[in-house]
Structure 1
Amino acid sequence: MSGEPANDGLVRVWCDGCYDMVHFGHANQLRQAKAMGDYLVVGVHTDEEIKKHKGPPVFTEQERYKMVRAIKWVDEVVEGAPYITTIETLDKYKCNFCVHGDDITLDASGEDTYRYVKESGRYKECQRTAGISTTDLVGRMLLMTKQHHHRGAKEYGVDKEHAGNISKVCKRQPQFCDLQCMVLFLSSYRQASGRDVKEMRRRWCQQ
């Protein structure tokens, strides 16, 4: 398909993402994107790209490709899509514009991954589905361990006093973070602004 002009007259829409632990928020994003055009192309990042910019995914890339293909609004899946969305990618797959939710996505440097398509005017936003994300799901699972571990309830609770200083909570174990530390990091990372991300990652890697 790439390299040849699109002569079908269809409005081709591009979406991309990790699509890890696919949930109804992902499906709703793709439903909204498809409604903005005629043909929806979805790029899915590789495991290595996700590890570099965000952290290791739960599902492998092959599993994630299959999950996205199963969503009924998806017309085409691009395997191994770049983490940073560029004009070159849109042109390669003959897409008119890119659609993403109204939440910011950052690369390893703390920069907006959609900055290039935004600057070119080939970017549209859809509404993010409130109350659901892969990060939230991971956090829920981490807290559902009462029957599997026999530690005190206090150790499972989130210490709000230290919520703003992850490094204080994480000093105990140099290589393996406990449950409280991980939940704090996931929650804080999701709410952080772009300029805070590099510092948060530096602190995490020091543990």
Structure 2
Amino acid sequence: MNSKLIDREKAIELRGEFLRQGKSVGLCHGTFDFIHLGHLRHFNEAASKVDILMCSITADELVIKGDGRPYYNELERLEYLSNLTMIDYCFVNNEQTSINLIKELKPNFYFKGIDYKNNEDDPTGNIGFEVESVESVGGVVHYTETSKRSSTEILNKYFKKELL
């Protein structure tokens, strides 16, 4: 079994251990349905800022990206994320947003892509609440400087609709 694959409760438990050891913890959260160069750069930048990088993904049944999504199921998404060397731990978040997870995990840093920097551009309105959650636990939101690339745009452009 891959030791990087944990559940949410274990992530919170480990966070406590890392806190006692004086280690900083960062969290990346998203669907991460179709990994591309933008994601790799995002994860590398995030990992360079913390001692431990955790990555949570949205559970399959909660992904609202359109028909046929997620393209890869949560076990497949966890498998490839856990094989990225810059990610220390990954797990499924069984909630629509990361807001409660942030409040429980209390990451030192919460990483989002540059495309989320302007909260007013977020159609879900959740980014503002995520920022508030991070700040409420003493963390910092860091927007990585990697260029914007979109899994949804890539899938819609290059994959036939019937495959999705």
Question: What aligned pairs does 1:145-184 form with structure 2 within 5 A after superposition?
Answer: none
The runs of at least 4 aligned residues of structure 1 exceeding 4 Å deviation read: none
Secondary structure at the counterpart of residue 26 of structure 2: strand
Structure 1 residues 111 and 135, CA, compared in 2 at 3 Å: closer, same or farther? closer
Secondary structure at the counterpart of residue 9 of structure 1: coil
Matched, 1:73 2:86: yes
Structure 1 residues 137 and 117, CA, compared in 2 at 3 Å: closer, same or farther? closer
Separation of aligned partners in 1, 2:82 and 2:49: 19
Q: Cα deviation per residue 1:48-68 (whole Å; 9 max; x = unaligned)? A: 110xx3222111111011011
Separation of aligned partners in 1, 2:73 and 2:37: 19
| Structure 1, unpaired ranges of 5+ | 146-176, 179-207
Secondary structure at the counterpart of residue 41 of structure 1: strand
Question: What aligned pairs does 1:132-151 form with structure 2 within 5 A after superposition?
Answer: 132-142=149-159
Structure 1 residues 29 and 82, CA, compared in 2 at 3 Å: closer, same or farther? farther
Separation of aligned partners in 2, 1:94 and 1:119: 12
What's the TM-score once normalised by structure 1's chain length? 0.58
One-letter amino acid matched to 1:118: V
Partner of 1:99 in structure 2? 111
| Structure 2, unpaired ranges of 5+ | 1-9
One-letter amino acid matched to 1:58: Y
Matched, 1:59 2:72: yes
Partner of 2:102 in structure 1? 90
The Cα of 1:3 is off from its aligned counterpart by 5.0
Task: Judge conservation of contact 1:85–1:114 (CA < 8 Å) in 2.
Answer: no
Task: Judge conservation of contact 1:100–1:126 (CA < 8 Å) in 2.
Answer: yes
Separation of aligned partners in 1, 2:104 and 2:132: 18
Partner of 2:7 in structure 1? none
Task: Judge conservation of contact 1:31–1:73 (CA < 8 Å) in 2.
Answer: yes
The Cα of 1:81 is off from its aligned counterpart by 5.0
What's the TM-score once normalised by structure 2's chain length? 0.72
Secondary structure at the counterpart of residue 110 of structure 2: strand
Identity of aligned residues (%): 20
Partner of 1:26 in structure 2? 39
